[in-house]
């Protein structure tokens, strides 16, 4: 158990809908990272938040957004969903903001999103 | 290219050694990582190597680094059925605009251990 929790575990929805995925980092970790894992693209970095502020953006679509709250939990919002958004979405946390090149991240168990 | 490359599948017999290979892209990567993903679980850091090292050994795991060829390998000695999982190679890249380092993963190698 990494100490990172994600809810829900599974989510099934229809095209065009909007969903929110939730992540609670390990106690004391200030950074939260979101990743998308799909069969064809592998594990793609989406976005990082550090202590409530956006820190780095990866391959995140404009239809997707995230935020980190004062208690450091984070939410990933996915809107206007398409079939291709079906994937596993992972959250990870780390103690620092990624300033060091040693960046150990602790992953949650993921949310499996299925768009029908 | 831009991608971290790994072969997708590897099958070995229980008790044999497994070697999982990876080619990374950024010669300035200071750390390279191996993560393990068991079925239904998130990724777990298995081991890492600092770029000024050629080899790192940790119990049954041996990591070899060839910086000239940007090639990384993970050897698992005496492979057990519990080692069946997906193994991801990852390099660290600096997002210069953000001033933060991010992990870039390969697509993962699925290791199947035959009893």
Nearest to A42 among B41, B44, B107 (CB): B107
**Tens-digit pLDDT profile for residues A49-70:** 999 999 999 989 999 999 999 9
Assign B81 to helix, strand or coil.
helix
The span from the CA of A78 to the CA of B38, in Å, is: 26
Does residue A85 come out as left (phi exceeding 0), alpha (psi in the -120 to 50 range) or beta? Answer: alpha
Spatial CA neighbour of A84 closest among A48, A40, A51? A40
Nearest to A97 among B92, B100, B106 (CB): B100
Nearest to A101 among B30, B97, B106 (CB): B30
Query: What pLDDT, on the 0 to 100 scale, is given for residue A108?
Result: 94
Query: What pLDDT, on the 0 to 100 scale, is given for residue A19?
Result: 98
Q: Is B17 in the A-facing interface, judged by CB distances under 8 Å?
A: no
Cα of B17 to nearest chain A Cα, Å: 26
pLDDT band at A103 (very low <50, low <70, confident <90, very high): confident
**Inter-chain contact A105–B45, Cβ cutoff 8 Å?**
yes
Dmax over CA atoms of chain B, in Å, equals: 49
Q: Which residues pair with A24 in a beta bridge?
A: A5
Q: Is A55 in the B-facing interface, judged by CB distances under 8 Å?
A: yes
Query: What pLDDT, on the 0 to 100 scale, is given for residue B27?
Result: 75
Structure tokens at A27: 């106690």
Q: Is the pLDDT of residue B109 over 90?
A: yes
Query: What pLDDT, on the 0 to 100 scale, is given for residue A62?
Result: 96
* Average pLDDT score over residue span B36-42: 89
Q: Is the pLDDT of residue B1 over 60?
A: no
* Average pLDDT score over residue span B23-32: 85
Spatial CA neighbour of B34 closest among B68, B1, B9, B64? B64
Strand ranges (E), chain B: 5-6, 9-13, 18-23, 31-37, 43-50, 55-58, 61-66, 71-76, 85-95, 100-105, 109-114
CB atoms within 10 A of CB B102: 21
The span from the CA of B3 to the CA of A113, in Å, is: 25
CA-to-CA separations, B10 to B27, B32, B36, B54, in angstroms, rounded: 26, 21, 14, 24
A106's CB contacts (< 8 A; 6+ apart) are A2, A3, A4, A26, A29, A92, A93, A94, B45
B 61-90 → A contacts, CB under 8 A: 88
The span from the CA of A112 to the CA of A11, in Å, is: 6
| In contact, A108 and B42? CB cutoff 8 Å | yes
* Average pLDDT score over residue span B49-70: 93
Query: What pLDDT, on the 0 to 100 scale, is given for residue A97?
Result: 82
Size of the A and B interface in Cβ pairs below 8 Å: 72
Spatial CA neighbour of A91 closest among B93, B4, B36, B42? B42
Query: What pLDDT, on the 0 to 100 scale, is given for residue B2?
Result: 64
């Amino acid at each position: 158990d990494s100490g990172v929790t994600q809810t829900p575990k599974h989510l099934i929805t229809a095209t065009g809908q909007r969903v929110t995925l939730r992540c609670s980092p390990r106690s004391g970790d200030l950074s939260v990272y979101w990743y998308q894992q799909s069969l064809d693209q592998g594990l793609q970095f989406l976005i990082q938040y550090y202590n409530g502020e956006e820190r780095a953006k990866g391959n995140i679509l404009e239809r997707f957004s995230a935020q980190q709250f004062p208690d450091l939990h984070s939410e990933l919002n996915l809107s206007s969903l398409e079939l291709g958004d079906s994937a596993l979405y992972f959250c990870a946390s780390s103690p620092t903001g990624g300033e060091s090149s040693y960046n150990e991240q602790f992953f949650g168990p993921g949310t499996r999103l299925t768009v029908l | 290219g831009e991608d971290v490359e790994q072969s997708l599948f590897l099958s070995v017999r229980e008790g044999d050694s497994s070697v999982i290979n990876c080619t990374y892209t950024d010669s300035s990567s200071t750390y390279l990582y191996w993560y393990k993903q068991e079925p239904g679980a998130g990724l777990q850091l298995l081991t890492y190597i600092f770029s000024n090292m050629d080899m790192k050994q940790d119990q049954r795991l041996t990591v070899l680094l060839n910086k000239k060829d940007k090639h990384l390998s993970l050897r698992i000695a005496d492979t057990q059925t519990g080692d069946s999982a997906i193994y991801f190679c990852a390099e660290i890249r600096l997002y210069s605009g953000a001033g933060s380092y991010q992990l870039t993963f390969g697509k993962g190698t699925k290791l199947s251990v035959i009893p």
